[in-house]
Structure formats: C-alpha cells, structure tokens
Amino acid sequence: MTFFKRIARSTTVVAIVAFALVAPVNLASAETISVDAGGNVNDSRPITGTGQNLPSMGATSDIWVIGPYLAPVITSYYSSGQALKDQSEVSAAALKWTRSWVKKECGSTKPAKVRACKAAAVFDIDETLLNNYETFAKADPQFTIVAADFAAANANCTTPVIAPVRALFDAFKKLGVTSFIITGRAENDRVSTETCLAQAGIVGYGALKLKPTGNTQNAAARKSGQRQALIEKGWKIGPSIGDQISDMTNGSMQRGFLLPNLMYYVP
Ligand SMILES: [Mg+2]
C-alpha cells in the first residue's frame, strides 16, 4: 500500500484512535506488515513495520525532512494517537519475534541462560526511544530542522519517551536480552543523551554507541559497522529497532522492526 493510501487509512480509524488514547499500551497484539528495504541494501534481512515511513527519494546522505506542505497530515497522525498505536504494534511484533528467536538461539527463555548466550538487541534513540515530534511541529516552517531548537531539546531533555518502545526495552531486560543503543547523535552529546535516557527510565543497556567525531559514513554503513563490532565481541544480535530503514540494513542483525516516522528520512 502506498504512503498516501496509508495516510488516508489513518484518517478513517477515529474509533480505534480514540480507544488507543485511553487504553494502556498493549504489547499483546500486532498488525504489522513486511517492509521493502529498497534496492540499495547490501545484505537485506526481513523488516516488519507499519508502512508509515517516508520513501528514500534517492537520498544518499544527510537527512531529508518532509517540510510544511504535508504538516496537517503529519500533525493528525501524531496527535490523534495513531502513531502511538503503530508504535505499540511494531513493539509487540518485536517482542513476539525476539522470544522465539531467543528460544532457538539460546535453547531456552530463562533469563540467566539468555544472558549467558549473549543474546542482544539494538535500539535507535530519536523517534525510537525518544520523541522529537514537538520540536519538529514547532519549527518554522513546520517539519524543517532548526538546529538550535534540536540542540536545546536534547540538552534540556524535552524529548518525551515513546512508552511502548520503552516497554519493549524493559521486556527484553526481563527476558535476559542485552540491549545496545546505536544512535546518530554525536559523541559530543554523550552526557546529555545519557542523562535524558536515564530521565526517561531507560537504564541498564549494554552500551551507548554514538556517531564518532569526524565520522563521515551514512547512517546505514556506520550503524551496521557498529553492530558488526558488537558481534565480533561475541554478541548475537537478533532484532534491530529503529524508525529508519538505515537502522536495520547492511546485515549484522537478524530482523528489523521499523517504527513509524512521517517527518524525515535518514539514508
Ligand atoms: Mg531515529
């Protein structure tokens, strides 16, 4: 289904959205689809998502923001609760898949055994664990990047947690799966990022991998390299959870779980 058809669909589920706004986050049910990673992926793995992401438009570097033209559609998607519902569905699918992967990989779902077999997951930060929607929505023009606003949001931790993804992070901890965080934020932002994660209740991860100073790789290449370095230390990486295809391409993981992002695309 195309991006625009998905948008149209999202406007027809007012009743479901209303329910989602008052219901607790439910990790028990999932309605997700297979996502096509596109033709430029070196080592593709299956990806599960909701279809609520931007196409690449041929971008090969930097960041491609959607801008103000579609602002009412984007605002409706996030403020209606549909984004939260879709984030819950992807999280539920990730937990279900990871339980069965762990069982196969470690021969057990007992936390001590899962920890001993070095089962791991990877999480991204922005639009995965923490939410920048308010900063993008307040930008002028809307859904463009005002660098100073983003720097302030990160420094002041005005980036709310994405609750169903934090619930997934916690569920992995219970299962004995070690979560690593791999982000496009810069090494210079380590202290503020660690502070904001802790403030959001995200604690007990294996390591936080930021973009090294001077690194010029695109996100897909850099993040897959950072995953590979973990594998070389003996970790088995099952799921990679992010809001960009580039969080889960070029291999060094088993399955991608793609959270929605209607605001920007990172190659
Ligand atoms: Mg992200």
How does pLDDT run across 227-265, given as a tens digit for each residue?
A: 999 999 999 999 999 999 999 999 999 999 999 999 999
Distance in Å, CA 193 to ligand 1 centroid: 13
Residue positions counted in the chain:
267
Query: Model pTM greater than 0.95?
Result: no
Q: Which of 113, 191, 204, 107 is nearest to 157 (CA)?
A: 191
How does pLDDT run across 82-112, given as a tens digit for each residue?
A: 999 999 999 999 999 999 999 999 999 999 9
Distance in Å, CA 107 to ligand 1 centroid: 32
Structure token digits, residue 246 = 């580039």
pLDDT band at 52 (very low <50, low <70, confident <90, very high): confident
- For the chain, list the domains and their CATH numbers: 3-265 (3.40.50.1000)
Distance in Å, CA 261 to ligand 1 centroid: 8
How does pLDDT run across 99-153, given as a tens digit for each residue?
A: 999 999 999 999 999 999 999 999 999 999 999 999 999 998 899 988 899 999 9
Taking a 5 Å cut-off on Cβ, the residues next to ion ligand 1 are 124, 126-127, 243
Distance in Å, CA 127 to ligand 1 centroid: 5
Which three-class secondary structure string do you get for 82-102? HHHHHHHHHHHHHHHHHHHHH
